[in-house]
Amino acid sequence: MTGSDQPQRLRIAQYAGYGVGDAANNLTFSMASAFLLIYYTNVAGIPAAEAGTLFLVVRVLGGFTDLAAGRIADETTTRWGKFRPYLLFGSVPLLALLVVVFSIPHGLSPAWKLVWAYVSYALFQAAYSTVNIPYGSLAAAMTQQPTDRARLSTARMIFTAAAILVIAAVIAPELSHAADLQHSLTVTVAIFAVVGVAIYVWCFAATRETVQRDAKRFSIRATLRMLRHNRPLVILCSSSLALYTGVFGAQTVGIYYAKDVLGDTSLFVVITVAQTAGMILAALVVPRAAGIVGKKAIYLTAGALCVSAGAGIALSPARLPALGIACFGLLGLGTGAIIIVLYAMVADTVDYGEWNSGVRAEGLNYAIFSFTSKVGLGVGGAIAAYTISFGGYAASAPAQTHTALQSIRLAAGGLPGVLVLAAAAVMVAYPLTERAFRALVADIAQRRAAAQPPGDGAASEPRAAVPVQRTQPL
């Protein structure tokens, strides 16, 4: 084994530098996921059903921009690597567009407000793809060590939780107390944008792409063939579609749950603190637990916890807000654990694709996964908006009807619980165990040491001596 094939172990500064990049991502992503619907309905005056259709259309289209971004990133070659340059040069357009999204002018007619919303959010989604896909792909290029990848995912989760908490603590009080909410949100989001650019620069400076890959470029046909036969990736994406549909649906209406069901907008901060505490607890426990029982077992166990939490959110009486808040905390623990292992699993499927077909495509692998996440984001946001619209939610009403409140409960807890249960059921078939993964990484290293060029023909090479044949597609 050559020196370049030796395991690359990461330092604390690299974990932190990579993880903080997701704080910048979530200054945009979580801001839109948690507050864009209520901004559209309560500030811009766009009806909930129309906002739901907007989410469905624009976010699904954003999935296709993810695919394009993944392909472009895989074809990129610079002195800084394939993925890191996008953090540096894509951050300013992305964060500028976030400000535009939350700055619909007061004087526009309803039709032109909707046009502004569609165009600005579509451009924002495209810009987000050019930054987030390279960022997510970067983990697979930094290390092939399973424990290091789990720690990178943990670092992402910790900084994500911190960003979500900051956003909630700043925005929720503005929704209740700002004299001019539009102006207040525009100023706040502009501050987030400046901070976000600085964080992306930090992430760029602290990370390195060290995993060896062949300089040969592969055709789109060869790459798509690799993806089609990457069974772990197909199962992971199928499961994540259901998972993210439920999770993003719950996130979209969390502010409504606090404002209307519990009767106090400020309780959204408490809900966010509970969820954040759950996510941080997951970040502390999951890496060690995954090393003992495996990532798949963590996913299934956390999925069961999410289902229970969703039922609790839907059924908790409003007179006992602490119970509903505690269920949100359990939901944060469950989803945090799942997302940590998901990101590590996506990186593992990159190595599986290289082992199975000779094609290594970090960008397109992550883009396929992100595509399903975007579809889940769009469908989840749309379902949440449609649910409260059909329940009779009225933004200008001093109090919501019983049916409207029940629809918020359903969107916040009932539907997410059912969808996470479906995600866990799909994940039962995931074949890539920790033992199998270590064996295939060792086999890849042996091939490189023997100077075997990867390519389309690698898939037909004999593998009788490789103990992970059971993970090959049928």
Could you read off the pLDDT tens digit of each residue along the chain, which spans 474 residues?
444 445 557 888 999 999 999 999 999 988 988 889 889 988 999 998 899 899 889 988 888 888 888 888 878 888 898 899 999 999 999 999 999 999 999 889 999 999 999 999 999 999 999 999 899 888 888 887 877 877 888 888 889 888 988 998 899 888 877 778 899 999 999 999 999 999 999 999 999 988 866 555 555 565 566 667 788 888 998 999 999 898 888 888 888 999 999 999 889 989 989 998 998 898 888 888 887 888 899 999 999 999 999 999 999 999 999 999 999 999 999 998 998 888 788 878 888 877 877 777 677 777 788 788 888 888 888 898 899 998 998 877 788 899 999 999 999 999 889 999 999 999 999 988 778 888 888 887 887 777 554 454 444 443 433 334 433 433
DSSP 299-336: HHHHHHHHHHHHHHHHH--TT-HHHHHHHHHHHHHHHH
Q: What is the pLDDT of residue 294?
A: 87
d(CA 239, CA 244): 9
User: What is the total residue count of the chain?
Assistant: 474
Tokens, residue 264 = 């106090």
d(CA 20, CA 372): 24
pTM exceeding the 0.95 threshold for the entire prediction: no
The answer to whether 290 touches 150, Cβ cutoff 8 Å, is yes
Q: How far is CA 472 from CA 32, 344, 461, in A?
A: 39, 20, 13
Tokens, residue 156 = 């992402």
Q: What is the pLDDT of residue 60?
A: 86
The CA-based dihedral angle spanning residues 185, 188, 194, 196, taken in that order and rounded to the nearest 10 degrees: -80
Which CATH number applies to 13-208+222-453?
A: 1.20.1250.20
Q: What is the pLDDT of residue 234?
A: 87
The answer to whether 399 touches 259, Cβ cutoff 8 Å, is no
Tokens, residue 142 = 């930094």
Tokens, residue 237 = 């994406």
The answer to whether 209 touches 17, Cβ cutoff 8 Å, is no
d(CA 283, CA 93): 31
